[in-house]
Structure 1
Amino acid sequence: MNTPHWKCGADLVVKQLEQHGIKQVFGIPGAKIDRVFDSLVDSNIETVVVRHEANAAFMAAAVGRLTGKAGVAIATSGPGCSNLATGIATATSEGDPLVALGGSVKSADRLKLVHQSMDTVTMFNPITKFCAEIDSSKSISETMVNAFRHAESGRPGSAFLTFPMDILNNAVDSPILVPKSKFNLGGANNDAIKEAVTLLLMAKNPVILLGLQASYPDNALSLQKLLDICPLPIVGTYQSAGAIAQRHFPLFAGRIGLFNNQPGDELLSHADLVITLGYSPIEYEPSLWNHNNANIIHIDEIPAEIDLAYCPDLELTGNIKLTLDNLTQRFAKQSTSQITLSNNTRQVLEKIRQQRETLQQNSYFRQGSPIHPLTIIHEMQDIIDNDVTLCIDMGSFHIWLARYLYSFRARQMLISNGQQTMGVALPWGIGASFVRPSDKIISVSGDGGFMQSSMELETAVRLNTNILHIIWVDNAYNMVEMQEQEKYGRYSGVKFGAIDFKRYAESFGAKGFSVECASQLRSILHEAMAVDGPAVLAIPVDYSDNAKLMEHIDYNLII
């Protein structure tokens, strides 16, 4: 068989992307990578031009989180690549599969101080799962295949490849490489599953702690089947949102993260057995929740990251779905009457039920301006249907949403708590729109986070993305402010000027809306939701209760 001839390495790069099933790439061209952009013109891959490289990585990461297949971002040499860094680090921390391709100076100049020379491999090594420079045209195919495999396997994350300019421009004889088999990981072994059942039946206060990988759709369905026959109390990290079904909501003690003062934290503090499912310590440090040295069963595709507060007694390592299915089958043979909730667990879950009921009844009646977070959440909850995908930025508003906005659809709510990166919401929403074109996309940010990626409103308008971006406005970096106030009794470096976000959105060609008081919120929110295309809604928010987010648990605290 004759080896295919490619007029340039860039053509082979693009053909490998096609073979991997890539539908779109996100990026900005430049002289060291523009040959790839030229080759993309003759492919079936859509080129999505963005306004900043970090946002290209965010968009690609959203595609990765929602599909399980790596999204692709492309940037040119020097600052083009360095601008990718925040998006690459965020994707690795959040477990989002992403492959980033960067240009670089020609091979002969790589050790010289020439225009846009930069050792990107050394820069990206600490924040990727796989990082390499293509040093030969003939290694393009095999290196790209391995980059995708690393990005998508185990706990997913980022891979980065840099292509010297001459590698992309020169002709090459090379086959397209297509892996002959998929990476198949079996479930945990039967002896470990049997031991897990024994430990669980012996426990007096068991709790399931859900992590990001629990919210992967197949894993979530298997979890729900397990809970049907083994109704255990559940807590989840912010990234686990959507993993449980609504029928299991009475067992759910809420999401935990950042401040160790939630009902889920109380449940964990009394637990004698914690079953972690698809959990990584970066989501919520074990030292914050494992004070009593509880027994731990670690269920994940990769071994546990051991520390003093997280040393599992048993690790069920393997395909999470298959492991859960095997556990379910094993429990089906047991007497479910042996699974009983302790008095303390039942009391905590009942207090949570009462709090949720009271919040539902009372939060809408908070009036005036600015508007209390619970009033905004009450109205947002009403529009979060199964045909909505929600992308949440970083800020104090993200704590309110993580604690009080509920979702029962796997990966319906994209939220960051690993790097806690500001500016992710709008680009995540644009990326999500490619995967879920029939969904209404809602992205939410504070005014500080929004202005870190607001230039992508132009991208959303150009693509006619069906996205509503909601801005919680307080003219400050409020999450920093509330923590400074708590620690020092004053704040520093957090205030900035006001922006007319309605007019700002309209200047991009998007629909702009603003709310002045709580009585307007419902009607204007629904009007903004009805827009077919990009829209922005600015809401003045009353953060006067933020200090209570950090106080010790009180089930009536913020009512």
Structure 2
Amino acid sequence: MSNEPKHSEPTGADIVVKTLEQQGVKWVFGIPGAKIDKVFDTLADSSIQTVVCRHEQNAAFIAGGIGRMTGKAGVAIGTSGPGVSNLVTGLATANTEGDPMIALGGAVPVADRLKKTHQSLDNANLCRPVTKFSAEVDSPESVSEVLISAFRSAESGRPGAAFVSLPTDIMAAPAKCGVITPPTHSAAGPADSAAVKEAARLINQAKRPVVLLGLLASKPENAAAIHELIASRKLPVVGTFQAAGAISANLFSSFSGRVGQLNNQPADKILAAGDLVITIGYDSVEYWPSIWNKGNKRAIVHLDLLPADIDNSYSPAVELIGDIAATIRLLTPLISHSAPDAVIKELLDKIAEARQELARSSAAMNGTPIHPLRLVSELQNLLTPDTTLCLDMGSFHLWMARHLYSFRSRQMLISNGQQTLGVALPWAIAATLVRPAEKVLSISGDGGFLFSGMELETAVRLQSHLVHMIWIDGTYNMVAVQEEQKYGHPSGTTFGPIDPVKYAESFGAHGFMIQSPDQIQGVLKQAFDTPGPVLIGVHVDYRDNHKLFELVNERSIH
């Protein structure tokens, strides 16, 4: 008989963790529970750092933020029942925004899945409508198969969310399978050459072609190819909110601004003037075609990894389906345009003049509470290449989406899909992990802050060097302004105050208040010089917020 020690078979949980390690996962974010504790126990002996969060929704937000900044799926984990249901909002947000992430959820034993037992829930069906992939592992032999499929789905095409349900008995059982090694090379090639030639023909015969950039245009490799296209062919450019950073500073004169939510921006005039639109990495959820293209018969060239979602207002003449950067590099030399026509040039000149005037007037706004444009002016000076900015949702977000400029891919994280409150602080925590050498600033309104404010404790525990600014007005202002316009009065939009300084100190963080415009730069500098997370509160003057929602262009809709 051999005296060598016996090695037990790996469990389902072992295969889960080994698969995560093989995928290069460095962190998982979540909350433990009885139905997922075997995975947590196995993670303790792995190379992966387990980051305990204070709510599963925020764990999913952090994972989605990592996905957006790295292109590799972040991972969130929760227990069965409410642990999984709490993940749903984060899954929906990541999936709509095109952010790769994986969520793992505990589940009751397979034999109990149809019983009304403690925390029994049909996890996979619950998450299926808000993910690209949702499945339950139903045998120890299929653990790695399901996880690999989840990662491939989350990271391929237009990225998004995937969910895997892990029954507790399968996690504890011996797994008669190995860890599957995915292909080392798996990527789309450029679009069909005949389609590229036809797109070039349509663009060349157009008088005023306009480029509309979407989220995938802001991926670094895609943005580099777009820079070559715009620089050599002098095409006018418009971007959605999520395309922030796709245009470099030297191409700013060709960039007319961002569009989104309402057809009332200077860039909307450029978009309306075009007799052909080239969409790059664009998804209709970013800016509905029924807003910017309703009733138009002009040609659209759709350049993306996926075919278009065709509707009455978005039916491309040509689809260039394939790797975005490679396709742009095939298309660029075939385009003959070298300068915008007189109509577009006049509009671009007017936009540049208005932009300069707004910068001058914004810097001179000295009232208190502080006007959003003065804060935007100060933040523009702060947004150096070594800074990451994470924006929550609210009226403040529209001021910055329209008037704050970024010239680096994925530097400025903006949501306009589900428009989910609470994303900013979790995204900032993600940024401190994947970009530890950068300054990280996140911003929310006082309405959105408490949706994820409890994660300040997580940031303190991680010693995350971030600054979170809260714009304070005591209302859900974005809703209130729209209700005022529709019904003549707001309803259900007011709430009580919090003290950002005391709130921060109660978590072991630091807090500051900005009392006047001349304090903005000094307080921000002090905050960034302070180790660990810092909260900054500032009271804002929202009297001009109604201008954000005014419909000033002819094709605006209600």
TM bin, normalised by shorter chain, reads over 0.9
Pick one of 155, 164, 185 that aligns with 1:152.
155
Pick one of 16, 28, 31 that aligns with 2:31.
28
TM-score (norm 1): 0.96
Cα deviation for residue 122 of structure 1 reads: 1.2
**Counterparts of 1:327-476 in structure 2 under 5 Å?**
327-331=331-335, 334=336, 338-476=337-475
Cα deviation for residue 269 of structure 1 reads: 1.4
Cα deviation for residue 552 of structure 1 reads: 4.1
**Counterparts of 1:178-217 in structure 2 under 5 Å?**
178-217=181-220
Tell me if structure 1 keeps the 8 A contact 2:262–2:551: no
Pick one of 122, 125, 128 that aligns with 1:122.
125
SS of 1:382 mapped into structure 2 = helix
| Residue of structure 2 equivalent to 1:300 | 304
Judged with a 3 Å threshold, the aligned counterparts in structure 2 of structure 1 residues 5 and 286 are, in CA distance, closer, same or farther, namely farther
SS of 2:163 mapped into structure 1 = strand
Pick one of 9, 12, 17 that aligns with 2:12.
9
**Counterparts of 1:124-139 in structure 2 under 5 Å?**
124-139=127-142
Letter in 2 for 1:66: M
Deviation per residue, 1:442-473 (Å, 9 max, x gap): 10100010011000000011111111001110
Letter in 1 for 2:431: A
Structure 1 runs not aligned, ≥5 long: 555-559
Cα deviation for residue 67 of structure 1 reads: 1.0
Letter in 2 for 1:381: Q
| Matches of 2:431 and 2:386, distance apart in 1 | 12
| Matches of 1:368 and 1:129, distance apart in 2 | 48
| Matches of 1:179 and 1:520, distance apart in 2 | 53
RMSD: 1.2
SS of 2:229 mapped into structure 1 = helix
Cα deviation for residue 553 of structure 1 reads: 4.3
Tell me if structure 1 keeps the 8 A contact 2:73–2:102: yes
Deviation per residue, 1:39-71 (Å, 9 max, x gap): 011110010110000000000011111111111
1:319 matched to 2:304? The reply is: no
Tell me if structure 2 keeps the 8 A contact 1:274–1:296: yes
| Residue of structure 2 equivalent to 1:530 | 529
SS of 2:353 mapped into structure 1 = helix
Deviation per residue, 1:386-407 (Å, 9 max, x gap): 1111110000100000000000
Pick one of 95, 98, 108 that aligns with 1:95.
98
Structure 1 range deviating more: 188-197 or 444-453: 188-197
SS of 2:481 mapped into structure 1 = helix
| Residue of structure 2 equivalent to 1:557 | none
| Matches of 1:182 and 1:71, distance apart in 2 | 20
| Matches of 1:215 and 1:17, distance apart in 2 | 27
Cα deviation for residue 293 of structure 1 reads: 2.5
Tell me if structure 2 keeps the 8 A contact 1:236–1:256: yes
Tell me if structure 2 keeps the 8 A contact 1:257–1:284: yes
TM-score (norm 2): 0.96
| Matches of 1:513 and 1:62, distance apart in 2 | 26
| Matches of 2:161 and 2:61, distance apart in 1 | 11
Letter in 2 for 1:200: I
Tell me if structure 2 keeps the 8 A contact 1:62–1:431: yes
Structure 2 runs not aligned, ≥5 long: 1-6, 554-558
| Matches of 1:14 and 1:100, distance apart in 2 | 13
Tell me if structure 1 keeps the 8 A contact 2:232–2:338: no
| Matches of 2:518 and 2:280, distance apart in 1 | 42
SS of 2:285 mapped into structure 1 = helix
| Matches of 1:33 and 1:483, distance apart in 2 | 43
Cα deviation for residue 12 of structure 1 reads: 1.0
| Residue of structure 2 equivalent to 1:239 | 242
Letter in 2 for 1:125: R
Letter in 1 for 2:96: S
Cα deviation for residue 528 of structure 1 reads: 1.6
| Matches of 2:521 and 2:432, distance apart in 1 | 25
| Matches of 2:333 and 2:202, distance apart in 1 | 16
| Matches of 2:384 and 2:224, distance apart in 1 | 19
| Matches of 2:338 and 2:230, distance apart in 1 | 11
1:111 matched to 2:114? The reply is: yes
